[in-house]
Chains A and B, each alone.
Chain A
Amino acid sequence: QQQVKQSPQSLIVQKGGISIINCAYENTAFDYFPWYQQFPGKGPALLIAIRPDVSEKKEGRFTISFNKSAKQFSLHIMDSQPGDSATYFCAARTQGGSEKLVFGKGTKLTVNP
């Protein structure tokens, strides 16, 4: 049972373009939705996160859009750069005392110069 479904599996965009990665979930007990960025040979690192009481959060060129009723959230990377080429994971955390995250399967983003 995959709790967070992520698409697409891979994405190729041109420099300056917009990259969009989508995630969907079923569990309404999730209360925190982070995105992680992973470069080859490195561990994932937190990129940006949102709570379900907010519909959008923007940090620089990165924006999360959140649709609570549809149980979907997405990452938008504006003005994509070759340095953004990485694997991106969406994740979700369940309410309660544990901090454990469930992750999507990841999207490999390639930004061509």
Chain B
Amino acid sequence: NAGVTQTPKFQVLKTGQSMTLQCAQDMNHEYMSWYRQDPGMGLRLIHYSVGAGITDQGEVPNGYNVSRSTTEDFPLRLLSAAPSQTSVYFCASSYSRRGARSGANVLTFGAGSRLTVL
């Protein structure tokens, strides 16, 4: 049981390049999400998904795309990277309320992907 796995751990891009941050979970969680963490800004929600085929925008979605073709995977795409997207990105997953086994539903985070855009 690996939990939430993010790749790559580190990436350097040039402005205008595209890339995909990968996220996979093996806990059969329905809910998956992407956050970015910037100094002094906390964790801000980019996109989330409540199940395969369903995605929605969070607080800071501009410049990012997501898709959810399987329960396990939730990739985050940067189509044209900008220096403002330099950040640490976290993928997180949990059971949905319907599938939660206990009252407190735990959002489990990956180890993060540090992205630098030059």
Cα A101 to Cα B35 with chains together (Å): 10
B42 A89 Cβ-Cβ under 8 A: yes
A-contact 0/1 string along B26-48, CB 8 Å cutoff:
00000101010000111111001
Residues of A within 8 A of B105 (CB): 32, 99
Point out the residues of chain B lying under 8 angstroms from A9, CB to CB: 40
Let me know if A43 and B112 touch, CB within 8 A. Answer: yes
Q: Are A99's CB and B109's CB within 8 A? A: no
A36 to B107, CA, bound (A): 10
Contact for B31 among A34, A89, A99, A104, CB less than 8 A: A99
For chain B, the bracket of interface size reads: 20 to 34
Taken together as a complex, chains A and B put the C-alpha atoms of A51 and B97 apart, in Å, by 14
Taking CB atoms and an 8 Å cut-off, the chain A residues in 87-113 that contact chain B are: 89, 97-106
Knowing A45-B109, A51-B103 touch, does A98 contact B50 (C-beta < 8 A)? yes
Contact with B along A10-31 (1 / 0, CB 8 A): 0000000000000000000000
Which residue of B4, B42, B98, B112 is within 8 Å of A103 (Cβ)?
B42
**Inter-chain contacts of B108 with A (CB < 8 A):** 46
Tell me whether A97 and B50 are in contact in the complex, defined as CB-CB below 8 angstroms, given that A103-B43, A105-B40, A106-B42 are known contacts.
yes
Docked pose: A32 CA to B97 CA in angstroms: 12
* Proximity string of chain B (85-118) to chain A, C-beta cutoff 8 Å, 1 when within and 0 when not: 0000010101011100001111111111000000
Interface residues of A (CB under 8 A from B): 6, 9, 32, 34, 36, 41-46, 49, 51, 89, 97-106
| Residues on B facing A (Cβ under 8 Å) | 4, 31, 33, 35, 40-45, 48, 50, 56, 58-59, 90, 92, 94, 96-98, 103-112
